[in-house]
Amino acid sequence: MIVKDITEENIEDLCQVCVPPAKKEHPDWVRGAGEKKKWAVDMLQKWGSFAKVAYTDDIPVGMIQYKPIPEERIVSIDCIYVPRDKYWRKGAATQLFFSLMEDMKKPLSYFDNKRALALVTRTFPGEEPGQYSAYNFFRGKGFKQAGEDPDCLYLPLKTGFTYQPVTKKEVEYVPQEEDRGQVLLICGPTGCPGTYPYFLKRMEKYIREVDSKIPVRWLDSSKDLEKVKERQIDTGGCIVNAKHIKSFVLDKESFQKEVRVALEAG
């Protein structure tokens, strides 16, 4: 097993590693991987180092994605993933993590040539049945809870450093008159190739089951940036009848319930 930093040469491996093998040719997943490529090219240009892939016999088996938060002098791990079961528990994630830890020993230009104070991550339940959770993985690597949020974990890189999550004012959807009586799904460049095929297309399907006639409009943040900005909704967002749907789409019952409430709101 070897770990490589993402460069222009292997950027495609990062975009493909999380795509299920059976879906490689599926148009929705091809589009999802394409959205990730746009995101990755931008990240590479912006930060230089932002992701690593683990390879077994030249096959990409896992990845870690991260970015610096210069104003807090921390590095945020946004995703760690070893998708296929035949590669679980073989040390891929550990090697990815240790490779990042090695990088953290060096001063970083975006921290005025100082070292990062901590690695920080916000975990979410992205694991398949039988797969280890990111939460357990990071706890096993010594991460502790930051502040009140049990999903916010950190690993101090400087002795005695305590991380307190910065409470950012929650950005709320700014309702637009033209959003009434329709559905808006926000797509565009993103770090997850499943955002379009797995999450957004599923939202469309579940909404169709509740209302088969409501018009569905797609807003692409790479083309309709102004429209996305005026609504203040990120890629992956869903608006129904000028209401932002906040339920997680994999919780189908809650998602459809919230959609019904939004539609009934008139």
Ligand X SMILES: CC(C)(COP(=O)(O)OP(=O)(O)OC[C@H]1O[C@@H](n2cnc3c(N)ncnc32)[C@H](O)[C@@H]1OP(=O)(O)O)[C@@H](O)C(=O)NCCC(=O)NCCS
- Residues lying near ligand X in the complex (CB under 6 A) are found at 62, 79-82, 88-94, 126-127, 131-132, 134, 137, 140
Nearer to ligand X, 107 or 140 (CB): 140
CB of 239 to ligand X, least distance (A): 23
Going by C-beta distance under 8 Å and a sequence separation of 6 or more, which residues neighbour residue 99? Answer: 3, 5, 52, 64
Q: Which of 48, 43, 23, 44 is nearest to 33 (CA)?
A: 23
Nearer to ligand X, 97 or 184 (CB): 97
CB of 16 to ligand X, least distance (A): 14
**Collapsed DSSP state (helix, strand, coil) of residue 48:** coil
Nearer to ligand X, 202 or 260 (CB): 202
The answer to whether 217 touches 199, Cβ cutoff 8 Å, is no
E strands, 174-265, in order = 183-187, 216-220, 238-240, 243-244
CB of 176 to ligand X, least distance (A): 30
Going by C-beta distance under 8 Å and a sequence separation of 6 or more, which residues neighbour residue 144? Answer: 153, 154, 155
Nearer to ligand X, 83 or 175 (CB): 83
- Compute the 3-state secondary structure of the chain and give helix, strand, coil in percent, each to the nearest 5: 35, 20, 45
Nearer to ligand X, 70 or 140 (CB): 140
Nearer to ligand X, 101 or 225 (CB): 101
Going by C-beta distance under 8 Å and a sequence separation of 6 or more, which residues neighbour residue 108? Answer: 68, 114, 115, 116
CB of 171 to ligand X, least distance (A): 22
Rounded Cα distance, 24 and 31, in Å: 10
The answer to whether 107 touches 115, Cβ cutoff 8 Å, is yes
Position closest to ligand X via CB: 126
- Measured in whole angstroms, how far is the alpha carbon of residue 130 from the centre of its chain? 21
